[in-house]
Structure 1
Amino acid sequence: MILIIARKELRSLFATPMGWLVLAIFQAIVGTYYSLSFNQYFEIMQSAHWQVQRIGLTQFMAEGVFGVAAVLMLFVVPLVSMKLISEERKNQTMALLMSAPLSMTELILGKLLGILSYLSLLILSMVLMIALLLPWAEIDLPYLLTHAFGLWLLMLASSALGLYISCLTANPILAAFCSLTALTFWLLLDKFFSDDHQALFHDFSLMQHYRQFALGILNSYDILFFVLFAGFFVLLAIRRLHADRLYG
């Protein structure tokens, strides 16, 4: 049942102009940065006379491409997650889902898997962009895959947050705005609380944990943080729908 819901959610994204428009704009911006980073790399390396000044092509390209992608995801995730549940409420089809022979856990996990499948296509396209340089340059695949995995975990956490907020309202526009606000807060939490005495808040920043993957560091602590963060908001979304089913 989870896979059926995920497939339906993925099809609905590509059945609307918004799904294709987001994909096209994302690819255009990322492709532009890809081209600029490629040209800038050789310009910088030509002026770097000392070996210590040189930087690997994979790291340079990934920092440019994945860096802009992380910023774009701040807007992409609220756009694609805003309709997950709020659209069902708005169209008054939520009652049909409540009466269907499926649990709220299956519904939430199916919708989350659907949106993650869509976002995974975006991440996969960036990996392929850089991997296409393999015939002409030495690509550090472990570093590239680690960076991509970190971005995927960031999208998992962001999507779970957007899904929960979508459960709270019947207005998709309001859900998108609240998701954007909440996601910005969680991403930049380390900037708001940068004092050493506020290290607890600093550690809750999504961007702080993503930076480790951007450095090519695969840390189980950072993986666990993203999984627990996503699991927390998934559980909140399930409990929210359970309450709607019981009390209306």
Structure 2
Amino acid sequence: MILILARKELRSLFATPMGWLVLAIFQAIVGTYYSLSFNQYFEIMQSAQWQVQRIGITQFMAEGVFGVASMLMLFVVPLVSMKLISEERKNQTMALLMSSPLSMSELILGKLLGIVSYLSLLIATMVVMIVMLLPWAEIDIPYLLTHALGLWLLVVASSALGLYVSCLTANPMLAAFGSLAALTIFLLLDKFFADNNQLLFHDFSLMQHYRQFALGMLNSYDVLFFVLFAAFFVLLSIRRLHADRLYG
């Protein structure tokens, strides 16, 4: 049932102009940075006087492409997650879902899997872009996959947060703004709380944990953080719908 819901959610994204528009704008911006990074790499390497000043093309390209993608996700995730539950409330179809034999866990996980599948396509295209350089350059595949895994985990955690915010309102636009505000806070907590006395808040920054993947370091602590972050908001979403089912 979860897979059926995910497929339905994914199909609904591609059945609307917004799904294709987000995909087109994302690819246009990322593609532009890809082209600029490629040109800048050779310009910088030609001016490097010492071998120690040279860096690999994989690192340079990934930092440019994935760096802009991580910022774009701040806007893309709220756009694709805002309608998950709030539109069901707005269209008054939530009562049908509540009365169906479908469990709230299946509903939440199915919708989450649907938008994560959509966003995973965006990440996959970026990986393909860089891998296409293989005939002309030596690509560090493990580093590239580690960086892509970090962005994917960031997307899963952000989508779970956006899904929970969508459960709180019947207004999709309000859900989008709420998700945008919440994601901005969680992404930049390390900037707001940089003092050593506030390390607890610093450790809750999504961007702080993503940076470790961007450096090519696969740390089980960072993976666990993203998994627990996503699980926390998935559980909150399930409890919210359970409360709606029980108390209306």
Q: How many residues align?
A: 248
What's the counterpart of residue 63 of structure 2? 63
Unmatched runs of 5 consecutive residues or more in structure 2? none
Provide, for residues 136-167 of structure 1, a one-character-per-residue CA deviation record: whole Å limited to 9, x for no partner. Answer: 10000000000000000000000000000000
Unmatched runs of 5 consecutive residues or more in structure 1? none
Q: Matches of 1:132 and 1:99 in 2, distance apart?
A: 49
What's the counterpart of residue 204 of structure 2? 204
What's the counterpart of residue 147 of structure 1? 147
What's the counterpart of residue 165 of structure 1? 165
What's the counterpart of residue 15 of structure 1? 15
Q: Matches of 1:10 and 1:137 in 2, distance apart?
A: 35
Provide, for residues 186-235 of structure 1, a one-character-per-residue CA deviation record: whole Å limited to 9, x for no partner. Answer: 00000000000101100000000000000000000000000000000000
User: Given residue 240 of structure 1, which amino acid in structure 2 is its aligned partner?
Assistant: R
Q: Matches of 2:179 and 2:75 in 1, distance apart?
A: 9
Q: Are residue 174 (structure 1) and residue 179 (structure 2) matched?
A: no
User: Given residue 13 of structure 1, which amino acid in structure 2 is its aligned partner?
Assistant: L
Q: Matches of 1:240 and 1:201 in 2, distance apart?
A: 25
Q: Matches of 1:129 and 1:95 in 2, distance apart?
A: 44
Taking the TM superposition and a 5 Å limit, the aligned residue runs for 1:121-132 are 121-132=121-132
User: Given residue 189 of structure 1, which amino acid in structure 2 is its aligned partner?
Assistant: L
Alpha-carbon shift at residue 244 of structure 1 (Å): 0.4
User: Given residue 32 of structure 1, which amino acid in structure 2 is its aligned partner?
Assistant: T
User: Given residue 19 of structure 2, which amino acid in structure 1 is its aligned partner?
Assistant: G
Alpha-carbon shift at residue 101 of structure 1 (Å): 1.0
Q: Are residue 185 (structure 1) and residue 170 (structure 2) matched?
A: no
What's the counterpart of residue 73 of structure 1? 73
User: Given residue 225 of structure 1, which amino acid in structure 2 is its aligned partner?
Assistant: F
What's the counterpart of residue 84 of structure 1? 84
Q: Matches of 2:41 and 2:135 in 1, distance apart?
A: 17
Alpha-carbon shift at residue 49 of structure 1 (Å): 1.4
Q: Matches of 1:20 and 1:99 in 2, distance apart?
A: 32
User: Given residue 14 of structure 1, which amino acid in structure 2 is its aligned partner?
Assistant: F
Taking the TM superposition and a 5 Å limit, the aligned residue runs for 1:103-122 are 103-122=103-122
What's the counterpart of residue 237 of structure 2? 237
Q: Are residue 28 (structure 1) and residue 15 (structure 2) matched?
A: no
What's the counterpart of residue 45 of structure 2? 45
User: Given residue 215 of structure 1, which amino acid in structure 2 is its aligned partner?
Assistant: L
Q: Matches of 2:237 and 2:104 in 1, distance apart?
A: 9
Q: Matches of 1:4 and 1:246 in 2, distance apart?
A: 25
Q: Matches of 1:55 and 1:184 in 2, distance apart?
A: 31
TM-score by length of 2: 1.00
Q: Matches of 2:23 and 2:145 in 1, distance apart?
A: 21
User: Given residue 153 of structure 2, which amino acid in structure 1 is its aligned partner?
Assistant: L
Provide, for residues 75-102 of structure 1, a one-character-per-residue CA deviation record: whole Å limited to 9, x for no partner. Answer: 0000000000000000000001001111
Q: Matches of 1:162 and 1:52 in 2, distance apart?
A: 43
4+ long deviations beyond 2 Å: none
Describe the SS at the equivalent of 2:241. Answer: helix
Q: Matches of 1:196 and 1:101 in 2, distance apart?
A: 50
What's the counterpart of residue 93 of structure 1? 93
Alpha-carbon shift at residue 118 of structure 1 (Å): 0.1
